[in-house]
Amino acid sequence: MDFLTFKTFISTEALIAFYYFGAIILPIGLWLLLTWLVRKYNLLNSAYKSGKDLFWKSLSNKKKTQLIVFFIILFFFMELFWRMLFEFLIAYMQMRDALLQTPL
C-alpha cells in the first residue's frame, strides 16, 4: 500500500532496468517494428522505397555522409541524455534516502 500512496519510491534496481530497456531494447525493437511494418503493408513499402530512392538520389555523396554522421551523433546525444536523466533520478532517490535517515 505504501508503494501505491508514494510513501515508498521505486527502487534503484528498477530504474536501472528501465534505463537498459530504454537504451538498448527500445531502439532495436522500434527498428524491428519499422522493418516489419514496411514488409507487411504494400502501400507503406512502396511509399518508403520511392521516398527513400528520391531522397538519396537528390543528395550528393558528401551530403549523404554528413546526414549519416549527423544521425549517428544525434543518436549518441539521445543516449547520453537518457543516461543523464536516469543518473539524476537515481541521485534523487539516494539523496532522499540519506535525508530520511538523518535525525532532525
Q: What is the pLDDT of residues 47-81, one digit of tens each?
A: 999 999 999 999 999 999 999 999 999 999 999 99
* pLDDT for residue 17: 93
Exposure on the CB side of residue 76, measured as CA atoms within 13 A = 5
* pLDDT for residue 4: 78
* pLDDT for residue 104: 67
Distance (Å, whole) CA 93 – CA 14: 12
Q: Is the Cβ–Cβ distance between 46 and 53 less than 8 Å?
A: no
pTM over 0.95: no
Lookup: cell for 5: 500512496
Most trustworthy range by pLDDT among 3-12, 19-28, 91-100: 19-28
Q: What is the pLDDT of residues 18-41, one digit of tens each?
A: 999 999 999 999 999 999 999 999
